Structure 1
Amino acid sequence: MSMRDGWNRRRPLPFRSLPWPVVPDLDVQMQKRRTILILLVLALLVGAGAWTADRFLKRRDHPGLFVFLHQWATNYPKSFTVDPPLLRIQVGTKEMDHLQEVVNKALERGVIMPEGDHYVDAEITAGDDHFRADLRIKGKMTDHVSGRKWSFRVIAKKGGGFRGMRRFSLQHPGTRNYLCDWFYHRLMSGEGLVALRYGFCKVELNGEDLGVYAYEEHFGEELVENNARVPGPVLRFDPALFWEHRLNGIRGVAVNDAYGAYQAAALDAYGTKGIAKDPEQHAIYEQALALVDAFRRGRLPASEVFDVDRTARRLALLDLVGGHHSMDWSDVKFYYDPVARRLEPVSYESFSAFPIRELAGAYAFQGGFRESDDLHRQLFNDPEIMRAYVHHLERYMRKEFLDSTFQVIGPDLDSAGAMLFGEFPYKPLDRSIYYGDQRAIRALLAAPAPLHVHLQRVHGDTVDLIAIPTDALPVQVDRIEWEGGASGPPIGRSLVPARQRGRVGIPYSLQMTCSGPISPDDLPKGGLRCHLLGSRRSVLVPISPFRLDSALAMGAIAPARGGPDLFPFVQVDEDAREVRILPGAWRIERDLVVPEGYVVKAFAPLHLTLARNVSITSRSPLEWIGTEDMPILVDADSAGSGGVHVIEAGRPSRLEHVRFMDLRSPGDAELPKGDVSFHRSPVHLAHVYFTGNGATLLYLTLSNATLEECRMVGGRDQLEALFCTLRSGGSGFTGAGDDALTIIGGEAVIDDSWISDCKGSGIKSEVHARVACSGVRITDAGTGLNTSDAGEVLMKGGSVQAKRVAHAGKAAMRYGPCLVVLEDVAADVEGHVEREAGSVLKVNGKEMGGSKALTGT
């Protein structure tokens, strides 16, 4: 047997003793593979879902999914730190059916039309206040009625209201871009412009929780009052025909209908029914109509119809917030100031938080008015408005402006955001957009060479140039400069209009004067010093020695308009910037108007007599000084004059020993109001005497005023101060046909004065006014101290003898309670004081007067 055979015959080893490796279970391997595959699929699904969600968010102008999740995790918990106000709205079944019908028709048409969208009755509860209201669907586009969060317009009835507003809107916060309009209104208010009250609340409709809403003030007298303005209408260019034009487009009938244009729109006022019934407001509205009509026809420049500074601030703020879309004539609103006779912009619907690529005023200024231009282009074409606009742009473009703004409003912004984040945590205010717009403004105002300049000829001490604009804003030429520091100013005005969009700049002829003969060889060593109109930054532009054919020039720039038509007894010192009324007796047969920038001086002996309806109006301060023995006299014909009025003078006026006598008749239309008035003009009156039969002897609005030993006799109302800071000492008020002192808003301190023979109220305090009296004596008055609309009067010492010593008016929902406090005042108060519901009336620490229930309906 061979070895091979022996080997083959060996017995096999037992299975357990074989040296083979152990093989894993095949089911376990398959399970692991399935797990890995599932995880990969899930990862792919999550990744695809995340990618889809990210693209979805970015298509809606959101930074993306990860930012979204971070905002949700960061902002939603903040909503638990605040408790938004809750408005509970209750409407009947019939009323609810009507609202649903309006919504259905709007969704069918694609636009909300006013036909059929009438108000329905509603009952609203806000905290402890309950009031009845009229309610309707509001808005134009269907974003106001998408889903269940419909937009509503609310008008509270009688004494009702919400947060001081009788007229307000409730809408999805997205219709006003969430916190963006909140920030815009705060900016506008901080800059002294008329701003709406805007914030967030929760709304329930017939018990259904509709979530977070934005509330927005509507246009009425409360808006004017809350912004400390003189009563006047809120205006707009009626968009009704424009929306008919838009509806044609939505219906697929896109035609160039004539009636949809700005030039076809009528000037309209909110609340025209009430205006028509009020003779004073009726006359004010007609005055506004006449001014705006003159502007639209080119008969008055924009700067003589619109408030220059406030208009410019609004336009510059729209650049800062990226709100160019709101520059639609159909959306803008204005308040008309009947004293200054100017329209002020009203903060409304900013359409903001967009990056800007050019300025709102770019390419607009062409140096002349054209009826065919739209409203904002016409505004920008006024050099005074453009100058102020650029000035404010340079303020707003500084990083420190936004830094300080966010620091000041930080707590309020956090609170407003927390109210919103309960439902919209992914909608914080993106501050980077505003800082980005600041950078854009800085870049757009840094024009390296706003002009190309060509030398035409030199003759003696005069240099002829041609300037071609390169920039989108107008350029002011300052002077010509050359080597050695010599320079020369332009002859006449030298404002070069902006280059027109897409066109080569139009050549303009300039003439420069020099202090002595100049050689053409000197000019290349210098240049033309100029700056964008309104800018503090100037540049030196080189002068090309190569002549440009003068036939191309469009002509010299128009000379400036002359000054006011002055009178033989009036001297103007331009160097001293003084207007002097010469001593003597003078009759003024036509209106005397003094522009801003001067001081109007007058000294005794002086007697001015104003003819019928003739007035003195000054936008510069007065300095009228008489003596005790020889006061300055100002009176009028028996038919009545237009009075004396100082408007936005800026610097303080001072009048000493002046007598204003019978300037206005009882039946005068009183526009502007008052025998004498000061509007946004600080004034000190010492030993000034007012007498007459007019409606108001002295009318003060938005001013700081001091009265020192002044006297007022007669008149229906003697002194009326709206939103002023007033101090009166040692003054007397006698024979008022109605009220002696009326303080509306603001504050007043009245010391050691007396009021007598007053048929109405001795001192009246209204609309959150605070009046402090010391040593005041009131005799023979209808009501000694009278308050309403959260007015306050605190009287210490003195005496009151009146049919009704004191009255604390009703605590209205829109204002709050009134307060009257008397300490150590000699008065028979028992049965002669009255306190209405919710208000406080105290005499020597003891509460007095009756009380009535407050219903608010």
Structure 2
Amino acid sequence: MKVTHSLTSARRKFAVTAAGIARTLIALVVVAVVLVALLFIVRPELAQQAIKRVETRWGYVFRSVDAGLTDSWSIALGVYLREALDGVPDIPELVIDVPFKEISKIYAKREEALARGILVQGPDDFVKGEIRIDDRVVPIKLRLKGDWNDHLAGRKWSFRIRTRGGEQLFGMRRFSIQNPNTRGFQSELMYFEALKRYDVMSPRYRFVQVTLNGESMGLMALEEFFSKELLEYSRRREGVIVRFDESYAWDSRDAITGEAVGWGGAFDDYRNAEVDAFGSSRIAESATLSKQYRVAEGLLNGFADGALSASEVFDVERLGAFLAVSDMFGSWHAVAWHNLRFYLNPVTLRLEPIAFDATLQDRFTDAASVISDEPVAIAMLADPLVRQRYKEVLDDLRTRYEDGSLPDQLRGVEDEHLALLQTEFRMLTRFPIDYLSGRLDALLASDGDYAFRDDREQDQYAVLAHFRYTENELQIETAIPREVEVRAASWIQPQSGEQAVALDWADLPLRLPARGVGSAPVGFTLPLLNPPDPDVTWRLEIEAGLPGRDWSRRFSAGPAAQVLTERPLPAADTPLPEFFVRENDTLRIRPGEYRVEASVVTPPGIVVSVDAGTTLRFANDALMLVNGPLRVQGTEDAPVRFVPLDSSWPGIVVMEADDRSQVAFAEFRSTHSVTTDSWTLTGGVNFYAADVDIRDTLFADSRGEDALNIINSDYTLQDITVDGTVSDAFDGDFTTGRVSGGLFTNVGRAGGGDAVDVSGSTIQVSGTRFTRIADKALSVGERSTMNATGVVMQDVGTAAAAKDGSLLELSDASISRASFAGLTAYIKKPEYGPAEIRAKGVTIAETAQPTLVQTGSRVTIDNVEQQSEDVDVDALYETVMKPGLRR
């Protein structure tokens, strides 16, 4: 018994001792945790230094862990630190309110996505809500976004948002919010910054604080969507944005896992994808945009089919730069075929890349090129011109890395945002840019011999073949690595359900060969039988299956896709008229009078020089396209005349000239603007990316939208005369320039014509006279700045208008007989904001109303602010400012 008692006593003493030790250890752990927490809060730089070496190797592991800590405590801590710490930039707070019934749909969709492993979008996913910011309430529609469930983790859900009711937020109508981790925190901005030097477009991207229905989501990344606002902000004309549609890849099932993921199979290929556009409803409502979409679709399909080279389809300068910068960063994600976005430049008819979603948290850091992982990029760099530009940009990047300017540029952007991000993501450190040097060296040393192979197949396919139709034939292209049997085709009347045979039974069944993964399709055509009543709408359905299987599937056939096999612009491949004389790098036209029966296109980089005393008479459909500098050397006694053979002619285009053009003592008469099946320009005389000086020149009897249109150029207009236009006289888009002296008269015979109309520009106007102007003598829009002095505006609709974030400074000017208003400032496009006019020494006489100022905009005359009022701008443009309306 004594032994037992001794053991029991010893055990009790040990237990007491162990408990004491445990309590001590727990206390020490608690103290350590508290100290570490305080360290992160008060001195995060010390914690960062402690893990710096580990971060170099495992940094993005830490970031992923950190980004996953999205419980309320970490979000609340971030909110507190953003308010408490010095040196943290202020950011907007978006308060999103969604009614219970609507938010319930969001919850259900999220649960469905978590169960499936991916988010599958539906046409009815958008729900209504509103965003409160400062004193504004912006009505919106929103839905969940993102393919993978990292966009739905924790409390930081990703949303696609559209504003309603013509409203905007930060100048955007469509945008996304998402966890900064999904875009690599600050690295996305650093990637965009590197692209700016080469004028490669990217969406606007910033950080905001978000609250959803009273619960904080903390710090979120706001990213602009693909819309016309993105183009306008990027100083591009309105146009279409297209992509390769990836839906077939998502709709197919993987043979190995059975998951609804088709990556690596037959449809993970740009050559096996349809082309579609963003904003399809807007495109359908515009004849101009519809034409542009057909061109964009045709160019991409022509490239995918191998009929057109990359340099015939894409803007070589920008594409080469996009590939080089993406490869330097190791961004395989940005160059993946399904992430490529392209803008069709409506002037050059070339596709420009729009960079986004670099995903640098999952980047290449070794010497391997991201190009070798992506067949579409391999095809692009197979073009010698694109590869040359790619190498030029890599060389420029390496030079700038070595001299320190590139690291300084990237660190400058990072420094603007890192302190903000670290308030919530406490383990986040600087983006490790040291790896860029090694990648640049390796990429420049590469011989560009890329190889790609992937033999995976899919068990369940979104489609078995591609079916399209024209007026009288069915077009079929192979799509999958199995033989396919086309068994029937029917016309179906949607309303009544009536069916009719669409293919002759003698042509069926049609056996289609297997298409290897990554290989080109094989095409077939079959004659279509006419539907019973051609005046009724019919839908064409095809029945197909796999040989030896007793099941069939039905597929709807769509209209035949546009495929271009040559450049849509007039080419310099036809002999020039005999009156052109080649003198080294110049094409010279000597004095004389010449007939131009067909369009003239000059080779790139060649100067076109026209001597004094020359007259060129153009046929009705004959335009002149100069792919280099234009030198028109008229004199007062011997001007150079560009005139029609009959009543009118398209006009002249000067494009992408390396040297400045000069036009003196010239006449341009009776142009009706440049229009072909694929190409529409608004001007009779056009300069695009071609700086120019024009003096002592007459533009008369313009029958198009603009007598003179200058885009993305610097210019001077000295003592020019514009006399007689159907619509506008001079239109400047994204320009810098100066107008001095001269006369604008009889502008806008059809009503609604402006004399000087600028967008996204900086311009000076001095000593110019404006008389008999149907609409506005001076129109300053879309974040432009104009300084006008000593101008005379007489018998005008409106003397001067500033709109959409623009500033007009007007001095020592006279306004008389303005039938609508002397000075007016307003918002036409809400994304730009209010406008302002500052007038000094301006006289206004015999004018209906001296000023019209919309609430929010400003007009001051001699430092006296004029009264503002609510103005229905839409009504203005449907009445007094409407083209074609005579006053």
What TM-score range do you get, normalising by the shorter chain?
0.7 to 0.9
CA shift for structure 1 position 83: 2.8
Aligned partner of 2:497 in structure 1 is none
Letter in 2 for 1:154: I
CA shift for structure 1 position 133: 1.2
Question: 567, 583, 595: which one pairs with 2:576?
Answer: 567
Is contact 2:736-2:762 (8 Å) kept? Answer: yes
Distance 1:307 1:47, change over 3 A: same
Q: Any idea what SS the aligned residue of 1:330 has?
A: helix
Q: Tell me, in whole angstroms, the C-alpha distance in 2 between the residues paired with 1:224 and 1:64.
A: 37
Q: Tell me, in whole angstroms, the C-alpha distance in 1 between the residues paired with 2:101 and 2:62.
A: 45
Distance 1:666 1:605, change over 3 A: closer
Aligned partner of 2:100 in structure 1 is 93
Question: 235, 240, 244: which one pairs with 1:233?
Answer: 240
Is contact 1:613-1:642 (8 Å) kept? Answer: yes
Distance 1:572 1:631, change over 3 A: closer
Distance 1:410 1:721, change over 3 A: same
Q: Tell me, in whole angstroms, the C-alpha distance in 1 between the residues paired with 2:731 and 2:354.
A: 25
**1:176 and 2:183 are equivalent in the alignment:** yes
Q: Tell me, in whole angstroms, the C-alpha distance in 2 between the residues paired with 1:654 and 1:401.
A: 40
**1:706 and 2:716 are equivalent in the alignment:** yes
RMSD: 3.9
- Bigger Rg, which one: 1
Which shifted more, 770-779 or 632-641?
632-641
Which shifted more, 382-391 or 830-839?
830-839
Q: Tell me, in whole angstroms, the C-alpha distance in 2 between the residues paired with 1:703 and 1:80.
A: 40
CA shift for structure 1 position 159: 4.1
**1:815 and 2:832 are equivalent in the alignment:** yes
Distance 1:720 1:58, change over 3 A: closer
- Which string of whole-angstrom CA distances, capped at 9 and with x for unpartnered residues, describes residues 112-152 of structure 1? 11225521111111223221111111122221122222111
Q: Any idea what SS the aligned residue of 2:734 has?
A: strand
Give unpaired runs (5+ residues) of structure 2.
1-11, 37-49, 68-73, 454-570, 875-887
Is contact 2:790-2:812 (8 Å) kept? Answer: yes
Is contact 2:327-2:371 (8 Å) kept? Answer: no
Distance 1:62 1:227, change over 3 A: closer
Q: Tell me, in whole angstroms, the C-alpha distance in 2 between the residues paired with 1:301 and 1:717.
A: 38
Letter in 1 for 2:297: L
CA shift for structure 1 position 395: 1.1
Is contact 1:677-1:698 (8 Å) kept? Answer: yes
**1:722 and 2:733 are equivalent in the alignment:** yes
Q: Tell me, in whole angstroms, the C-alpha distance in 1 between the residues paired with 2:140 and 2:724.
A: 43
TM-score normalized by structure 2? Answer: 0.73
Equivalence map 1:60-79=2 (5 Å)? 61-62=59-60
Is contact 2:722-2:743 (8 Å) kept? Answer: yes
Q: Tell me, in whole angstroms, the C-alpha distance in 1 between the residues paired with 2:202 and 2:131.
A: 25
Is contact 1:585-1:606 (8 Å) kept? Answer: yes
CA shift for structure 1 position 301: 2.4
Aligned partner of 1:827 in structure 2 is 844
Aligned partner of 1:601 in structure 2 is 609
Letter in 1 for 2:424: E
Equivalence map 1:156-305=2 (5 Å)? 156-245=163-252, 251-252=258-259, 258=266, 261-305=269-313
CA shift for structure 1 position 296: 3.2
TM-score normalized by structure 1? Answer: 0.75
Aligned partner of 1:429 in structure 2 is 430
Q: Tell me, in whole angstroms, the C-alpha distance in 2 between the residues paired with 1:767 and 1:225.
A: 8
Question: 840, 847, 853: which one pairs with 2:858?
Answer: 840
CA shift for structure 1 position 619: 2.2
**1:142 and 2:142 are equivalent in the alignment:** no
CA shift for structure 1 position 63: 7.0
Equivalence map 1:509-520=2 (5 Å)? none
Question: 440, 447, 461: which one pairs with 1:472?
Answer: 447
Which shifted more, 384-393 or 121-130?
121-130
Give the fraction of aligned pairs with identical amino acids, expressed as a percent.
Answer: 27
Which shifted more, 773-782 or 321-330?
321-330
Aligned partner of 2:438 in structure 1 is 439
Aligned partner of 1:741 in structure 2 is 756
- Which string of whole-angstrom CA distances, capped at 9 and with x for unpartnered residues, describes residues 291-322 of structure 1? 33333333432212211111111111012211
CA shift for structure 1 position 64: 6.5
Q: Tell me, in whole angstroms, the C-alpha distance in 2 between the residues paired with 1:443 and 1:374.
A: 20
CA shift for structure 1 position 699: 0.8
Question: 850, 854, 867: which one pairs with 1:849?
Answer: 867
Aligned partner of 2:785 in structure 1 is 770
Letter in 2 for 1:753: T
Is contact 2:763-2:787 (8 Å) kept? Answer: yes
Distance 1:405 1:178, change over 3 A: same
Q: Any idea what SS the aligned residue of 2:776 has?
A: strand
Distance 1:499 1:223, change over 3 A: closer
CA shift for structure 1 position 748: 0.8
What number of residue pairs does the alignment pair up? 709
Distance 1:335 1:608, change over 3 A: same
Letter in 2 for 1:596: P
Q: Tell me, in whole angstroms, the C-alpha distance in 2 between the residues paired with 1:150 and 1:37.
A: 41
Question: 758, 770, 780: which one pairs with 2:795?
Answer: 780
- Which string of whole-angstrom CA distances, capped at 9 and with x for unpartnered residues, describes residues 750-790 of structure 1? 11001111111111111110111111111111111112211
Letter in 2 for 1:632: V
Which shifted more, 214-223 or 55-64?
55-64
Q: Any idea what SS the aligned residue of 2:654 has?
A: strand
Question: 115, 139, 142: which one pairs with 1:108?
Answer: 115
**1:687 and 2:696 are equivalent in the alignment:** yes
Distance 1:174 1:657, change over 3 A: same
CA shift for structure 1 position 842: 0.9
Give unpaired runs (5+ residues) of structure 1.
1-26, 365-372, 447-470, 474-497, 503-561
Letter in 2 for 1:727: R
Is contact 1:739-1:761 (8 Å) kept? Answer: yes
Aligned partner of 1:404 in structure 2 is 405
Q: Tell me, in whole angstroms, the C-alpha distance in 2 between the residues paired with 1:705 and 1:218.
A: 33
Is contact 1:610-1:636 (8 Å) kept? Answer: yes
- Which string of whole-angstrom CA distances, capped at 9 and with x for unpartnered residues, describes residues 403-454 of structure 1? 3245346555333222222211222332x3x3212223214424xxxxxxxx
